[in-house]
Amino acid sequence: MNDAAAPPAQSWKVTLPCTRAEAEALDGEIATFAAMDSPPVLMTSEAGGDDENAWRLDAYFEGKPEPAAIELLRSLVPSAADMQPQVELLPDEDWVTLSQQGLEPVTAGRFHVRNRPADPEEAGHVNFLIEAGRAFGTGQHETTAGCLFMLDRMRRIGMRFGNVADIGTGTGLLAFAALHLWPRAYATASDIDPVAVEISGHNAIANGVVIGTGIGQVALYAAAGVDHPAIEQRAPYDLVIANILAGPLIELAPSLCAVIEEGGTLILAGLLREQADAVLAAYRAQGMRLAERADRGDWPTLRLRKRPRIGWKRPRRIDRNARGEAPGFGTL
Strand segments (E) across the chain:
11-19, 41-46, 54-62, 86-89, 106-108, 111-114, 126-129, 163-167, 186-191, 218-222, 237-243, 260-269, 288-296, 299-306
172 carries a ligand binding annotation: no
> Alpha helix (H) ranges present in 157-193?
173-181
How many CB atoms neighbour CB 210 within 10 A?
A: 13
168 carries a ligand binding annotation: yes
Cis peptide before 236 (omega within 30 of 0): yes
208 carries a ligand binding annotation: no
Opening angle at CA 295, ends 291 and 299, nearest 5: 115
Distance of CA 46 to the CA centre of its chain: 20
138 carries a ligand binding annotation: no
Residues belonging to the chain: 332
| CA dist., res. 302 & res. 304, Å (int) | 6
Opening angle at CA 164, ends 114 and 193, nearest 5: 65
Closest C-alpha to 147, from 124, 117, 169: 169
Q: How many CA atoms lie within 13 A of 76 on its CB side?
A: 29
Closest C-alpha to 176, from 224, 208, 199: 208
Quick one: residue 170, left, alpha or beta (phi over 0 = left, psi -120 to 50 = alpha)?
Answer: left
Residues making up the binding site for S-adenosyl-L-methionine:
144, 168, 191, 243
- Going by the annotation, the residues of the binding site are 144, 168, 191, 243
